[in-house]
Structure 1
Amino acid sequence: MTEQSNPKDLVQYAISAERRGFDFEVSSDHFSPWLTSQGHAPNAWTMLGAVAQVTDHVDLYTYVTCPTMRYHPAIVAQQAATLQILADGRFTLGLGSGENLNEHVVGRGWPAIAQRQDMLREAIDIIRALFTGDLVDWRGDYYQVDSARLWDVPDVPVGIGIAVGGKKAIDKLGVLADHLIAVEPDGELVRDWHTVRQGNGIAGGGRVVGQLPICWDPDRDAAIARAHDQFRWFGGGWSVNADLPTPAGFAGATQFIRPEDVAESIPCGPDLDAIVDAVRPYWEAGFTDIALVQVGGDSQEQFLKEAAEPLLDALRSAAPGDITT
C-alpha cells in the first residue's frame, strides 16, 4: 500500500517480495492516505515503473486506478501501455470507480455511484480503443478524445481487471474486463461474474483476485496497535469509504472503532495459521488469487525476512488448485 511507505522503500520491498517467492505484487493508486498516521502517498505509476525495472518475473497490478477524474482515460491508456513494455508483459491494469479521497483534488466534485460507473464504462471503452494503436477520436457522454494515438503499444496486450462490489456493477462492467477484483470472499459475486460473462459469450473466467489485510508481528499486541493506528479505516466498508473526502473524515468516521474490533477482522500477530484460515473463505468462494496487504510501515522488511516464506509455504500447502499470492 503506497500510503504506508515512501517510494524508495516501496521499490525495495517489491524486490524483496519477489525474492521471497510472491507470484504478483499490487499497488494502490492514491493521492492521499486514508489516515494521517500512514503518512505517505507517492505516485503509483512512477513507483511501478521503477519496480518493473528491478524485478524479473512477478506480475504487477494497479490495485486500483480510477481512470475517470484525476486521470483522463487517454492518459491511463498511455501509462498502462508504457508500463507493460517496461515490465515485459507482466502488468495488469486494475480499474475501479474511485474514491472521493483521491479524485476530489482536481476540483470536479464527486458524482453518485451510478454516474461513476457510467464514467468508468466509457473510460474503459476509450482505453481499449487506444490499446489498438489506432488513431482515436471520441465524443461521448463524459469524455472527448481528439486524434489520439498510442505510439508505443506493447507486444503483450494489457489485461484489465475491474473492482466491483455487487451485481449491478457486474452487469454494467463485467463484460468490459478480463479479471475481477474484490475485497470480500463473496461467492455470489464470483458466480454473477461468471454468469454475466458466459451469457455474453466470453470464453474463460479470467482471474478472480481477492484482497486480505493482515498485520504480522512477533508481538500480537504490537500488531493490533499498528493495525488499529493505520488500518481502522477499513472498518467503514466501501459504501462509506468511497465518499469520505479527507484523512480527517476517515479519522472522524473511525474514532469509535476499538483495537479489539480491528483484531477481530484482521489477522494480527505471529500466527500464520490464522492468516491461512482467513484466506480459506476466498478459495471457497472461487477466487484464484489473493493479495495480502501487510499492515507494516517500518516493519515490512522484518515481515519479508522472517514470515513471508513460511507463510507462502503454508498458503500453498493449503490452497486448492491454481491459487497465487
Structure 2
Amino acid sequence: MASFGYFLSSEEHGPAELVEQARMAEQAGFDRLWISDHFHPWNDQQGQSPFVWSVIGALSQAVSLPVETAVTCPTVRTHPAVVAQAAATSAVQLDGRFRLGVGTGEALNEHILGDAWPETSVRLEMLEEAVQIIRKLLTGEQTSHRGKHYTVENARLYTVPDEPVPVDVSAFGPQAVESAARIGDGLITMSPDADMVERFRRAGGGTKPVAGGLKVCWSADRDEAVRTVHRLWPNEQLPGELPQVLPTPAHFEQASELVTEDQVAAAVPCGDEPEAHAEALAAFVDAGFDAVYVNQIGKDQQGFFDFYRTKVLPLLRG
C-alpha cells in the first residue's frame, strides 16, 4: 500500500514555519516528509530559502517521521563530498530515517558561484560521478577520487550512520529515468506517469521505491485558492526545460506572465472538495508509485492539515 507524505516548501516558508508544519503533518497522520533544497525561491512572491541542512537538524528533534531532500543537487554549487557529510550527519540525527534525494538541479540555484551551466547530458554525467563519491564516503572509509569532474583527496567521514543512506534520484525524461534506475536506490518524479515508472523498472529499477509529489491549495473559497496558486507558484506550469535553465527569480517572474489562472485551475487541485484532492493523489498510486507527497500552497496550513486529517487521508486509506 502506498504511503502519503508532506512536502515542506523551503521556497515559501522560513525555518520555524517548516518545523511547525512538520509537527502538524505528523499529527495529521502523514507518514513521511520531503523538504526542498534551494538557494533561491522560484520567484520573489514565495520569498524564502533557508539552508536545508539546518532545518533537517531541527526536524530531527521535532518529529519522528522519515525525512528526505527533494532534491539536493550535489554537482555545481555544493561539492559531493560536502553533500556526503551533510547526508551522513542527517542520517545520524534522524536515527536512520533519512534518504538523500538528488538531481541534476537548476541554473536558478547552481549558477551563483559563476560556474558554467552544462547541458543535460553533462549534468547527468556529473550526477553519476557525484553519487559514486557520496556512496564511497558514506562508508566511513578514507576515500580518494580523481574523476572527470571531481577530485577528492584523503577524505573520511567520521560521523556516519550504521546503515548506508539510500540515495534516490530525481528524473523527468527517458535518459534521466534510465540513469536513475542504474545509480539510484529509488526514483523521484513529479508526474503520475505509469510509462515512466515502467521504464524505470525495466531499466534496472526493479522493485526500488518510486515517489512522486504534487502541490494543492486547500481553501473554502476555490477562486481564492486559484488566485493564491497563480500568485505564488505559476512557475509550476512552465513547459519543457525552462525551469532548468532560467537563472534568476526575476526571469521566472517574466516567463510566468504567460501562465493564466485557467491553466492553474486545470492543473492544481484547489478548494475544499475531498474527492478532488484524493483523486489527484490516487493518480500516483494508480500509476505504480510507492509514496506520494503533497504540499499546501499558501498560509492556511492548519486548515489544510485539518482537512487532510479528517477528509482526504481517510478516503485514500479507506
Q: Same fold (TM over 0.5)?
A: yes
CA separation in 1, counterparts of 2:112 and 2:202?
A: 37
Does the C-alpha gap of structure 1 residues 54 and 248 become closer, same or farther in structure 2, counting only changes over 3 Å? same
> 1:107–1:278: structure 2 CA closer, same or farther, 3 Å change rule?
same
How far is the alpha carbon of 1:238 from its aligned partner? 5.2
Where do 1:112-191 residues align within 5 Å?
112-191=119-198
Cross-structure match for 1:228: 230
User: What code does the residue aligned with 1:73 have?
Assistant: P
CA distances 1:204-235 after superposition (whole Å, capped 9, x unpaired): 52211011111111111111110000111000
Counterpart in the other structure of 2:285: 283
Residue 309 of structure 2 is aligned to residue 301 of structure 1: no
Q: Which residue of 1 aligns with 2:208?
A: 206
Residue number in structure 1 paired with 2:54: 46
Which stretch shifts more, 167-176 or 254-263?
A: 167-176
Q: Does the 8 Å CA contact 1:130/1:149 hold for their aligned counterparts?
A: yes
Report the RMSD for the aligned CA atoms in angstroms: 1.2
Aligned to 1:105: 112
Deviation (angstroms), 1:173: 3.5
Q: AA paired with 1:315?
A: L
* 1:15-30 correspondence runs (5 A): 15-30=23-38
Q: Distance in 2 between matches of 1:172 and 1:260?
A: 35
From 210, 216, 219, give the equivalent of 1:217: 219
- Partner residue, 1:314: 315
Counterpart of 1:320 in structure 2 is: none
| Separation (CA, whole Å) in 2 of partners of 1:227 and 1:12 | 22
What is the CA deviation profile of residues 160-207 of structure 1, one whole-angstrom value per residue up to 9, with x for unaligned ones? 110011221133332211111011111111111111116xxxxx5221
After TM superposition, give the deviation of residue 139 of structure 1 in Å.
0.3
Kindly, what percent of the aligned residue pairs are identical?
39
**For the Cα contact (< 8 Å) 2:190–2:213, is it kept in 1?**
yes
1:66 to 73, 77, 91: 73
Q: SS where residue 3 of structure 1 aligns?
A: coil
Aligned mate of 1:269, from 267, 271, 296: 271
Following TM superposition, the consecutive aligned residue runs of length 4 or more in structure 1 with deviations greater than 6 angstroms are: none
Distance 2:277 2:104 in 1: 29
CA offset digits 1:269-313 (Å, max 9, x no partner): 1111101112232122111110102112x2112212344442211
Structure 1 stretches of 5 or more lacking a match? 199-203, 318-325
Q: Which amino acid aligns with 1:163?
A: S
1:42 partner SS: coil
Q: Which runs of 5+ in 2 are unaligned?
A: 1-8
Cα distance in 2, alignment partners of residues 62 and 178 from structure 1: 14
* 1: CA distance, partners of 2:145 / 2:26: 40
1:289–1:238: structure 2 CA closer, same or farther, 3 Å change rule? farther
TM-score by length of 1: 0.93
Mapped to 2, the partners of 1:237 and 1:98 lie a distance apart of 16
- Classify the secondary structure of the residue corresponding to 2:245: coil
**Aligned counterpart, 1:12:** 20
Contact 2:108 2:245 in 1 (8 A): yes
State the TM-score, normalizing by the size of structure 2. 0.95
Aligned partner of 2:243: which letter? N
